[in-house]
Amino acid sequence: MKSLLIFLGIFFVSSCKAQKTLPLNTLMKDIPVNAHVKDLNNELNPYIGTYKANYQGNEITLHITKEEDRPTKRMNKNFFRDVLSIRYTVKNSSGIILQNTQNMSLNNQSYFNILSIGVNHPYGEVTFIYDGTHCGIGWGDILLRKINSNQISWEYRPDSLVIDEATCPTGTDKKVYLPVTKDLVFTKQ
């Protein structure tokens, strides 16, 4: 019985150490497996909400929410991170929905994920990684900068917009509907 109690005590102590809490912008090299990277100073909260902008005749609506302790895998490490998640709707000038991720079941293996990876304090920006659309088309970085309490500035830098038939099946929608631009202003609704 005594050895069982000692084993349980050691297990409990080692489990507590494995679930270390770290601040939001902790460097990857400093994040141990199973750590919790937390938004301890509520740096993500000012971005939460629904925002709209018009770009090249399309209306883009961003739905930004905060997810706490989202399971994350980077550089062969599994850990948990507080993130901002963006879901979006793109409509043309006739009101027809071109793309909508609002009701999609998104996870770490699917496309269409837009998740924050950190806050850049000197510039007041949040950096996001975008998985791209079908077949990963348009994957890249998105930067949001808070202009004021009601507006954010958008910059989308895709790393790949070209996918060939070998990588993406014929008939797949290969269009990127998010605005590939810098300094597009979204207004909070």
Dist CA 92 CA 182 (whole Å): 20
Is residue 13 scored above 70 in pLDDT? no
Predicted TM-score of the model (pTM): 0.84
For residue 4, what pLDDT is reported? 46
**CA geometry: angle 177, 151, 159, nearest 5 deg:** 35
How confident is the model over 14-62, as pLDDT tens digits? 454 557 999 998 998 999 999 999 999 999 999 999 999 999 999 999 9
* Domain boundaries, given as residue ranges, for the chain: 21-188
How confident is the model over 134-157, as pLDDT tens digits? 888 899 999 999 999 999 999 999
